[in-house]
């Protein structure tokens, strides 16, 4: 099982549990992957068997595990990070030579998308800062509270997406900020290849939706109330909203399910690669919608047909930069909507909810 150790994120699929007697062509598929549950609801064309779809989706997620999991010790990522894949230092290799060394197309695409996310966010989403995440205990190792001298040295390692450093050692990566969005996009691509146009794909809370739900209406989703320790998705919702600009991706990132407290100080899992430290602002969750009108996913753009990967990166970006900078970014970007929830994180306290103009809140 692929485990990126990203806690189930706050967006809860409300319509996924609906079973429509009126439209029996909609099917529900699900399974376990990446430390949680994946779910798909889609309208299946005549002649496509449900068991064939289930097998195809399971196979896609198994391939992702074998390539990108930092917890699967035999994955391409784990072997790369340990320096076990034979790429000579400083070599300029062709794609075929890199593949022959043991890498795969999933890894190379993820690497390219990670670099695009780094460039788009001004370095605030940095898959090459794996050692910094490890140092704080939010990567692939259990550590915490590193000294400033160490975080400063680790900060200097980020922002570079070559596979090897100058001394020949591997440049370590952590794709957690994009990997589940990437997984949702890959499942959506598989469904599209089968002629499916009405769908909702959910991998650990990272969602892609297209077409309409079984009632012929827009997909309706909800956002969990982000208080510290709320590990029960769906019990308490802050917002319910419709996704209108489809096809679209919906991703939430939050700081209330993965953190630790030392000497009365809360250290969240969101690390700012620029400072080398966990963020300290009051933004608790950021739900980002990348809609059909987003130029960042248009033909020829770096994130063309990778809507959920982009939404995953942007939700993380919002959590890194904080509420004011996140609002400014979202309002300046066509085709992107967001709901930002700020507060102390304590249950029962008042929270500030900001939604962009086109977010589509129902209540």
The domain limits of the chain are: 1-363
What mean pLDDT is reported for the chain? 87
- The matching CATH number, chosen from 3.10.520.10, 3.30.70.3270, 3.30.70.1450, 3.40.47.10, for 1-363 is 3.10.520.10
Contacts of 294 by beta carbon, 8 Å cutoff, 6+ apart? 307, 310, 333, 334, 335, 336
Contact criterion met (CB below 8 Å) for 57 and 48:
no
Rounded Cα distance, 206 and 139, in Å: 19
pLDDT in tens, 90-128: 557 788 989 999 999 999 999 999 999 999 999 999 999
For the whole model, what pTM was predicted? 0.90
CA distances from 212 to 42, 52, 196, 217, 297 (A): 9, 23, 12, 5, 21
Contact criterion met (CB below 8 Å) for 41 and 27:
yes
> In the prediction, which pLDDT does 261 show?
76
pLDDT in tens, 297-330: 999 999 999 999 999 999 999 999 999 999 999 9
> In the prediction, which pLDDT does 232 show?
65
For the cut 90, the answer to whether the pLDDT of residue 18 exceeds it is no
Contact criterion met (CB below 8 Å) for 314 and 288:
yes
User: What would the two tokens of residue 63 be?
Assistant: 């391939």
Contacts of 340 by beta carbon, 8 Å cutoff, 6+ apart? 283, 285, 286, 287, 318, 323, 326, 327, 353, 354, 355
Residue 296 carries which DSSP code?
Answer: G
Nearest partner of 241 among 38, 10, 26, judged by Cα = 10
């Amino acid at each position: 099982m692929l485990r990126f150790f990203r806690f189930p994120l706050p967006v809860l699929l409300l319509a996924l549990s609906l079973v429509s007697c009126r439209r029996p062509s909609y099917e529900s598929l699900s399974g376990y992957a990446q430390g949680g549950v994946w779910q798909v609801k889609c309208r299946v064309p005549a002649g496509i068997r449900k068991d064939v779809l289930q097998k195809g989706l399971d196979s896609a997620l198994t391939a992702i595990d074998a390539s990108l999991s930092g917890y699967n010790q035999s994955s391409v990522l784990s072997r790369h990070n340990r320096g076990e894949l034979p790429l000579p230092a400083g070599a300029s290799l062709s794609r075929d030579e890199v593949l022959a060394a043991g890498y795969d197309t999933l890894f190379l695409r993820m690497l390219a998308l990670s670099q695009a996310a780094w460039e788009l966010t001004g370095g605030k989403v940095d898959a090459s800062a794996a050692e910094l995440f490890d140092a704080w205990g939010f990567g692939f190792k259990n550590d915490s509270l590193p000294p400033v001298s160490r975080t400063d040295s680790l900060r200097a390692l980020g922002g570079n997406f070559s596979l090897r450093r100058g001394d020949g050692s591997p440049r370590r990566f952590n794709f957690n900020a994009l990997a589940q969005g990437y997984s949702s996009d890959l499942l959506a691509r598989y469904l599209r290849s089968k002629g499916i146009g009405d769908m909702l794909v959910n991998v650990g809370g990272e969602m892609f939706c297209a077409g309409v739900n079984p009632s012929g209406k827009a997909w309706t989703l909800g956002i969990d109330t982000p208080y510290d320790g709320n590990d029960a998705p769906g019990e308490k919702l802050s917002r319910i909203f419709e996704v209108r600009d489809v096809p679209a991706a919906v991703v939430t990132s939050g700081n209330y399910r993965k953190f630790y407290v030392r000497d009365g100080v809360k250290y969240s899992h969101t690390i700012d690669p620029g400072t080398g430290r966990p963020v300290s602002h009051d933004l608790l969750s950021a739900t980002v919608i990348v809609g059909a009108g987003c130029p960042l996913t248009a033909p020829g753009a770096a994130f063309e047909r990778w809507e959920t990967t982009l939404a995953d990166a942007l939700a993380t970006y919002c959590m890194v930069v904080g509420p004011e900078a996140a609002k400014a970014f979202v309002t300046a970007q066509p085709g992107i909507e967001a709901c930002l929830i700020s507060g102390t994180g304590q249950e029962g306290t008042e929270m500030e909810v900001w939604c962009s103009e086109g977010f589509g809140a129902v209540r």
